Structure 1
């Protein structure tokens, strides 16, 4: 008869160890190889929801290092812009970071979306008056900085989230707070003659006076860009690529006594004619709908401005020139924009269209 052996019972310490094994393994992996990406994503998402009151997409999570310290960094944008023309526009995106700590811990979260939020807030504030001055065919691009200082010898960016907050800080301590405004105003309506050009000059002057009244002129760099409305035609994108790929030729501009590198005249004439015919058949509502599809990252020299800008009016306040373009600053000749004639409207020599 065989000997019956008594089965050994598994003790509680062993059971607890078995239960905790996955967590211990995860901790060890985090300790030696990094944290779980989903934990990083969840921490950033929670931070952003608590701070801004809406859900964000947190993507492209990777590791970075600065001054010997490692941290996670991600690209972020609100879920609310998914499916709109803002989704792939860098203007509406920001970054968030989480510091890496020892023993698998994650540090606090920091983000730069406050800058995006502030830009949108200022845009929302300015756009109604700008449309009131120039009409509905207007898009604007804002880049506003709130800077603070200790003794005036240095200035650093501050993460205020709204124009109201910036103004409050300036009102309380004007010597240590300032607002720097970069403003691009794109008007999708070409100027037909000198009479209309003078009317536009008056409108730009009106905008400058408005910005002065609002306390937004002291550190201002602004471009008022008059864009040919043919960019709103359905076939514009097709011809845009054809123009970009074309072999450029030197063309002498007699009126300006300058030679410019432009697409071939035959191509320019064809594009001008075809797009004008399309625009003639579009209603104002269709033109505005087409304009609203234009992304912020297209409102640039390499985007719309290079070939399609007819006229450009640059505005630089004295404070901005003194701060940003020191070598050009001359208090005796600086433009104060006190009269309509102080508004200069220059021709874009790279403008490709024919009437």
Structure 2
């Protein structure tokens, strides 16, 4: 009897405590539990606010990411942030988009081994696997999507977008042709794995010397490069080459492992932002793009009615890899 009475008192205390919490506090607790149950770890939640449509009501967190990110570059990189939701219409039920972050990372890893084989260590894959997803494993997700795409071959589909950034050196036509061949080989890998049909991304070859110790701290030269690029100066190539030549020794003297570490510490959101705001892009490679090529599959071009802008190509020969910019 005493035990029953004690449980009743505890129950009343819990109900009283719960009643004292605001709706937003309860929503955040629901979201935190949802994230913990789904991903097995505690999350940071920012910007929790109430939203309402004609019928639907919900709370939305602008940013969610694992607490394990704290103190790492991912904490400050929006590429690794998801959003959180708590539906109110049918009781409090949590949801999130962080699984899309894991899916993007899985895609980066999937292509990463081939990119390393073809281009070496100094690359960054910043991919965005758009659309509704069922799996956070890229291969599983693409196998599932391909089956649905095959049922409606002319329908719309979310492409693999974003960019692949290679840090290297292009000083003559021979270098340019080497990169053309390597990019062609990468496309063949995408075709072999059945993922090239669904791409709309860019490959950028950027001057590796932007990673040198001296260039990183020289804001004057960075601003000068942006200025002459924006002016579309006809002597841009020569001016750029003259400025960057100063950093050849600084780059060559930097240990390779330090260069790779610096590449890994670049904020991916400064290279690609799926929301279209690529403000940070100019700060890193905009003025030092040596070669740029769009990889748009035939299926994507047709689905978006872009035939007037992009040529339909099978990429069965190296010359199908065309550069929209050549600054070397």
**Fold match (TM-score > 0.5):** yes
Structure whose alpha-carbon radius of gyration is higher: 1
8 Å Cα contact 2:211/2:262 also seen in 1 = yes
Q: Secondary structure at the match of 1:337?
A: coil
Q: 2:68 aligns with which of 55, 66, 80?
A: 80
Q: Secondary structure at the match of 1:41?
A: helix
**Map of 2:4 onto structure 1:** none
**Map of 2:5 onto structure 1:** none
Tell me how far apart the structure 2 counterparts of residues 20 and 166 of structure 1 sit (CA, whole Å). 47
Report how far residue 243 of structure 1 moved.
3.3
Structure 2 unpaired stretches of 5+: 1-7, 273-280
Tell me how far apart the structure 2 counterparts of residues 142 and 308 of structure 1 sit (CA, whole Å). 21
Is residue 2:294 matched to residue 1:319? no
8 Å Cα contact 2:142/2:195 also seen in 1 = no
Tell me how far apart the structure 2 counterparts of residues 22 and 129 of structure 1 sit (CA, whole Å). 55
Tell me how far apart the structure 2 counterparts of residues 196 and 242 of structure 1 sit (CA, whole Å). 25
Q: Going by fraction, where is helix more abundant, 1 or 2?
A: 2
Counterparts of 1:137-286 in structure 2, within 5 Å, are 137-146=122-131, 157-170=132-145, 172-173=147-148, 174-175=150-151, 180-240=159-219, 243-244=222-223, 248=227, 250=231, 252-253=233-234, 271-286=243-258
When residues 325 and 73 of structure 1 are mapped into structure 2, their CA distance, relative to the original with a 3 A threshold, is same
Is residue 2:284 matched to residue 1:304? yes
Report how far residue 139 of structure 1 moved.
0.9
Tell me how far apart the structure 2 counterparts of residues 47 and 303 of structure 1 sit (CA, whole Å). 37
**Map of 1:12 onto structure 2:** none
When residues 284 and 68 of structure 1 are mapped into structure 2, their CA distance, relative to the original with a 3 A threshold, is same
Counterparts of 1:310-349 in structure 2, within 5 Å, are 310-326=290-306, 328=308, 334-348=312-326
When residues 93 and 134 of structure 1 are mapped into structure 2, their CA distance, relative to the original with a 3 A threshold, is same
8 Å Cα contact 1:114/1:159 also seen in 2 = no
Report how far residue 158 of structure 1 moved.
3.9
Report how far residue 202 of structure 1 moved.
0.8
Tell me how far apart the structure 1 counterparts of residues 220 and 55 of structure 2 sit (CA, whole Å). 45
Report how far residue 244 of structure 1 moved.
3.4
Tell me how far apart the structure 2 counterparts of residues 269 and 133 of structure 1 sit (CA, whole Å). 25
Report how far residue 326 of structure 1 moved.
3.3
Q: Going by fraction, where is strand more abundant, 1 or 2?
A: 1
Tell me how far apart the structure 2 counterparts of residues 235 and 341 of structure 1 sit (CA, whole Å). 37
Report how far residue 248 of structure 1 moved.
3.4
8 Å Cα contact 1:230/1:236 also seen in 2 = yes
Q: What TM-score does the superposition give when structure 2 sets the normalisation length?
A: 0.80
Report how far residue 288 of structure 1 moved.
1.2
CA displacement 1:145-199 (0-9 Å, x = unmatched)? 35xxxxxxxxxx3443222332342465431596621141111112122112111
**Map of 1:11 onto structure 2:** none
When residues 159 and 346 of structure 1 are mapped into structure 2, their CA distance, relative to the original with a 3 A threshold, is same
Q: Secondary structure at the match of 2:183?
A: helix
Q: What TM-score does the superposition give when structure 1 sets the normalisation length?
A: 0.75
8 Å Cα contact 1:57/1:77 also seen in 2 = yes
8 Å Cα contact 1:99/1:109 also seen in 2 = yes
* Corresponding residue pairs, total: 305
Is residue 2:26 matched to residue 1:49? no
Report how far residue 25 of structure 1 moved.
8.7
8 Å Cα contact 1:239/1:271 also seen in 2 = no
Q: Secondary structure at the match of 1:326?
A: coil
Tell me how far apart the structure 1 counterparts of residues 146 and 326 of structure 2 sit (CA, whole Å). 40
- Higher RCO (C-alpha under 8 Å, 6+ residues apart): 2
Counterparts of 1:126-145 in structure 2, within 5 Å, are 126-145=111-130
Q: 2:80 aligns with which of 81, 88, 92?
A: 92
Report how far residue 36 of structure 1 moved.
4.7
**Map of 1:4 onto structure 2:** none
Structure 1 unpaired stretches of 5+: 1-15, 147-156, 255-259
Tell me how far apart the structure 1 counterparts of residues 181 and 17 of structure 2 sit (CA, whole Å). 71
* Root mean square deviation of aligned Cα: 3.3
